[in-house]
Amino acid sequence: MSLSVSVTINGAPHAIELDDPRVTLLDLLRERLELTGAKKGCDRGQCGACTVLVGGRRVNSCLTLALSLDGSEVITIEGLASGDALHPVQAAFIEHDGFQCGFCTPGQIMSAVGLIAEGHAGDDPERIRELMSGNLCRCGAYKGITEAVLEVQRAQQTGNRKDAA
């Protein structure tokens, strides 16, 4: 049984030899690669704090076996900003106070980035709320979260319209 896996994480290739087949993507990131941005809130796909992008899609890293990811591309919260330049979603979360304790925030932000890429919400706040409902926030920062996603969506739509013109 081969326990080696090649994964690109935040643009950097990793050839990983695992000593254990049970390692989830979340625990790989947190305990073995020291990428602790993704958080463990439930470890069972029930809270969204561990959300990362795999192949550009948002998923719960706690329910993903690291071994099954051979050849995949993973982006975590650590890979979102470009140097000092925040991703627009990150900036909007600060501006709209889309968090309090901050523990769910990496998951919320990765989820929002995934949501925007999926393109099913438009600038309808109700659709944003529904499609952000896989990320629990116990502090109750939902209003700011929705406003932050909405702002980025609208800015992007405006940008797209300008591009088209």
Rounded Cα gap, residues 106 and 123, in angstroms:
22
**Nearer CB in complex with another protein: 156/165:** 156
CA 84 to centroid of chain Cα atoms: 19
Question: Per rule CB under 8 A, is residue 74 in the interface with another protein?
Answer: no
Rounded Cα gap, residues 39 and 48, in angstroms:
9
Question: Per rule CB under 8 A, is residue 127 in the interface with another protein?
Answer: yes
Radius of gyration of the chain (CA): 16
Rounded Cα gap, residues 77 and 52, in angstroms:
7
The position carrying tokens 């979260």 is 145
Question: Per rule CB under 8 A, is residue 142 in the interface with another protein?
Answer: yes
| Positions 90 through 109 that interact with another protein (CB under 8 A) | 90-91, 93-95, 97, 99-106, 109
Question: Per rule CB under 8 A, is residue 6 in the interface with another protein?
Answer: no
Q: For the CB of residue 18, give the shortest distance to another protein in the complex, in Å.
A: 10
What's at 115, amino acid-wise?
L
Query: What x/- string results for residues 33 through 62 when contact with another protein is judged by CB under 8 A?
Result: -xxxxxxxxxxxxxxxx-x-x--xxxxx--
Question: Per rule CB under 8 A, is residue 159 in the interface with another protein?
Answer: no
